[in-house]
Amino acid sequence: GVKEDELSVRGLVPIITFPKDLFHRRGAILNTMSTSEAAMQNAELSRAHEEVDVENGASNLKRKRASSLNGRSRHQWKLLRNYTYSQGCLTLLNEIVEHAARERDSLGIEISASRQFFGELINLLWGDRVKKVKRGQRIDRKAYVLNLTRKQGQTVQPPDYDVTNDFEQLAKDDTFMLPTGWFRVVDNPCRICFIHPEPWEFGNQRIYKEIVMELSPEKNVSYSVKSRSCELHLSTLNIERIVKELTVHEQAKLVLEFIDTSKLCLGCSLSDDDSSVSPILHQTGVLKSLNNNEVPMQNRAFSSKCQLFVCHAGKPCSKCTGVSLSYKKRKCRREARESIHKHCNKRYLTKDEILQQLQEQRKLNRKHDQEKEGDQYSGSEDEKSNSNSDSGNEEEKE
């Protein structure tokens, strides 16, 4: 509705509220411009809004969700960048929150973070190794994080830093400490791969996590993660602001620590008797645990645009969740329908459903042929009756 101090504009896009005097101020500004300048400004504003709407699906809710997800991953990177596990150390939880609030603008994060939010992130990153505890007198108790401390003396890039030389040294450095279970493969001087075998098998093939570091001719280091033929460029997480000041060795340690502690997406589950077909590109197969025989094999589906990592172990990412929802929606439609529409796309039908559709089409064709024959028979009878009446009229005239 229209409020006293706001004007609501409703259309195909979500509701946008403007101050009541916005158009008066805008008119005053445009009066000082030429017609061409005003047209150019309007075109630029329209293009900007269209780009935002196309990227986020023209939805304020999607924009908030995208900002929330990006904020979560960037805060995780920042925590790993500045904090590390240390037995017996105590860190004030409020200091972590205040530190993140100070750097929120530099990270480009719109959402505000709370103590509960950071407590969840810390638990996801370090698990049971760190604990939230309270220390102090009863009237002035404060929340601390046990076994977590601020990193000191990280190696940053000096003024005369040579990226190429440091990258080549990392490729040859056998003393570089890798997390447990990881190994390194150097394909060429400008490419380093860190590989970790996962305790899962999908489609009779073992699942691996692979981190690829590449040095471009412009002396920029890029990172990407690959698993199950899916690829995630870390530039999409917008982490360059967090790691750009570090040396290549420190960047590699941070990326390895982040990927090693991240939870891998295991796709969405499918029922054994589900014969539906999803229009979303995906892979289906049997997921098998290699280190626990008690875990049963499951039919799973992975989206071709799988985001690879999730916040909570065992839950699918948003792309794989979309595949699961499309399966459920089609299954409900199939169970609720009385017959298959003749124009239904056969690509999404099973063999039995195609046979059923053909039988129904044959019945319709027979019915149509019978009606056509009946019309032709009635037409011939009418012609005969008309000819008989005409001959009778001629006999009467004679």
Beta-carbon count within 10 A of 103 CB? 16
Asked whether residue 142 carries a pLDDT value surpassing 60, the answer given is yes
> Domain for residue 6, yes or no?
no
Same domain? For 126 and 201 the reply is no
Structure tokens, 201 = 């098998």
Structure tokens, 317 = 């990412």
Instruction: Provide the pairing of β-strand 16-19 with 6-9.
Output: antiparallel
Same domain? For 288 and 317 the reply is yes
Strand, helix or coil for residue 16: strand
Q: What is the largest CA-CA distance in the chain?
A: 131
pLDDT band at 208, cuts 50/70/90?
very high
Higher pLDDT, 332 or 347: 332
Residue position matching structure tokens 């509705």: 1
Q: What is the pLDDT of residue 57?
A: 45
Asked whether residue 292 carries a pLDDT value surpassing 90, the answer given is no
pLDDT in tens, 275-286: 566 778 888 889
> Domain for residue 395, yes or no?
no
Q: What is the pLDDT of residue 211?
A: 93
Same domain? For 122 and 89 the reply is yes
pLDDT band at 340, cuts 50/70/90?
confident
Q: What is the pLDDT of residue 30?
A: 39
Asked whether residue 318 carries a pLDDT value surpassing 80, the answer given is yes
Asked whether residue 3 carries a pLDDT value surpassing 50, the answer given is no
> Domain for residue 288, yes or no?
yes
Q: What is the side-by-side order of every strand in the sheet holding 142-150?
A: 83-92, 142-150, 131-135
Residue ending a domain, among 117, 150, 183, is 150
> Domain for residue 346, yes or no?
no
Same domain? For 242 and 177 the reply is yes
Q: What is the CATH number of the domain that holds 138?
A: 1.10.10.10
Tell me which long-range contacts 289-296 makes (C-beta under 8 A, separation of at least 24): 289/199, 289/200, 289/201, 290/199, 290/200, 290/201, 290/206, 291/199, 292/199
Q: What is the pLDDT of residue 196?
A: 95
Residue ending a domain, among 234, 261, 288, is 261
Same domain? For 272 and 256 the reply is no
Q: What is the pLDDT of residue 192?
A: 94
Same domain? For 282 and 328 the reply is yes
Asked whether residue 16 carries a pLDDT value surpassing 60, the answer given is no
Highest average pLDDT, of 266-270, 311-315, 386-390, comes from 266-270
Higher pLDDT, 110 or 262: 262
Range with lowest mean pLDDT among 2-16, 160-174, 210-224: 2-16
Residue ending a domain, among 245, 261, 277, is 261
Higher pLDDT, 113 or 89: 89
Asked whether residue 298 carries a pLDDT value surpassing 70, the answer given is yes
Higher pLDDT, 19 or 308: 308
Range with lowest mean pLDDT among 58-72, 116-130, 152-166, 341-355: 58-72
Same domain? For 256 and 274 the reply is no
Asked whether residue 158 carries a pLDDT value surpassing 50, the answer given is yes
Structure tokens, 263 = 């939870």
Strand, helix or coil for residue 218: coil
Domain assignment of residue 257, given as a range: 163-261
Highest average pLDDT, of 11-20, 27-36, 367-376, comes from 367-376
> Domain for residue 328, yes or no?
yes
Instruction: For the chain, give the percent of residues with pLDDT over 90.
Output: 11
User: If you ran DSSP here, which 8-state letter would residue 15 be given?
Assistant: P
> Domain for residue 125, yes or no?
yes
Asked whether residue 345 carries a pLDDT value surpassing 80, the answer given is no
Q: What is the pLDDT of residue 240?
A: 65
Same domain? For 241 and 202 the reply is yes
Strand, helix or coil for residue 297: coil
Higher pLDDT, 76 or 201: 201
Q: What is the pLDDT of residue 194?
A: 95
- 215, amino acid identity: L
Same domain? For 168 and 252 the reply is yes
pLDDT band at 368, cuts 50/70/90?
confident
Residue 219, sorted as left (phi over 0), alpha (psi -120 to 50) or beta, turns out to be left
Same domain? For 124 and 88 the reply is yes
What's the whole-number mean pLDDT along residues 28-38?
46
pLDDT band at 225, cuts 50/70/90?
very high
> Domain for residue 54, yes or no?
no
Rounded to 10 degrees, the C-alpha dihedral 59/63/64/67 comes to: 170
Cα separation of 189 and 164, whole Å?
A: 9
Same domain? For 178 and 237 the reply is yes
Range with lowest mean pLDDT among 114-128, 284-298, 315-329: 114-128
What's the whole-number mean pLDDT along residues 266-271?
86
Same domain? For 176 and 254 the reply is yes
Q: Is the pTM of this model over 0.75?
A: no
> Domain for residue 200, yes or no?
yes
- DSSP letter string, 154-192: --B--TT--HHHHHHHHHH-TTPPPPTT-EEEEEETTEE
- 391, amino acid identity: S
Cα separation of 315 and 238, whole Å?
A: 24
- Number of domain units in the chain: 3
Length in residues, the chain: 398
